[in-house]
Amino acid sequence: MNMKLSELKNVTIRKFSNYVHQQFHLQNVNKFLYYNIHNFFIFVITFIILFNTNISQLTILLFIVSLDAFSIVVLHNCPLSILEKKYLKRTITDERKDILKKMGILYKCDHEYENQIELLINVWMIVACKILCILLLKTVNIKIFDSSKVYL
C-alpha cells in the first residue's frame, strides 16, 4: 500500500493533529518539554524506588525500567534523549557528564549508549535488590519499626 505525500496529508488523523497543533498554538510550546518529561520520569521512578514497599508495584517499575533498557538496546539511545538531542541539541546524559566532571569524577566513556545502559542496569539492580530485601524480611518475618508511618 503505497501512499503519495499528498494522500498522506489528507489522512483524518493528520488533519486532526494539524488542527490541534494550530488551535492550541503548540508550535510555541517550550522546547524544553522533552527535558521536563525526562526529569519527571526520573523523579517519579526515584520516588517510587525510595518510598514504595509494595512488591507488585516495584515489579511493575522493574518492568518499566526493563522496557526502557530494551528501547535503548533497540534504538541505541533513549527515546526521550533522541527527542532532546533533536530539539535541544543537548541531553540529560550530557548534563550528567558535566555534573560528574564538576565533581572531579572523570568519565572517560563518550558513548551515550553505554552510559545510558550502565545507568539503567544500576537502576534495575537497585529495584531488584529492594524487592529481594523486602521478600527476605517477609520470609524471616522481620518487621521494621517505622515511627513516621511511611511504610504502612
Q: Dihedrals φ, ψ of 108, to 5°? A: -80, -20
pLDDT at residue number 128: 95
Instruction: Look at the block and give the residue holding cell 515489579.
Output: 59
- Give a yes or no: residue 131 inside a domain: yes
Distance CA 85, CA 94 (A): 10
- Give a yes or no: residue 1 inside a domain: no
Over the Cα atoms of the chain, what is R_g?
21
Span 89-113, mean pLDDT?
Answer: 77
- Give a yes or no: residue 15 inside a domain: no
Percentage above 90 pLDDT, the chain: 22
- Number of domains making up the chain: 1
pTM of the entire structure?
Answer: 0.67
pLDDT at residue number 112: 72
- Give a yes or no: residue 146 inside a domain: no
- Give a yes or no: residue 89 inside a domain: yes
Report the mean per-residue pLDDT for the chain: 80
- Give a yes or no: residue 73 inside a domain: yes
Distance CA 23, CA 44 (A): 31
pLDDT at residue number 28: 56
- Give a yes or no: residue 118 inside a domain: yes
**Residue-number span of the structural domain to which 81 is assigned:** 30-45+54-138
**Residues near 131 by beta carbon (within 8 Å), at least 6 away in sequence:** 55, 58, 59, 62
Span 120-128, mean pLDDT?
Answer: 93
- Give a yes or no: residue 81 inside a domain: yes
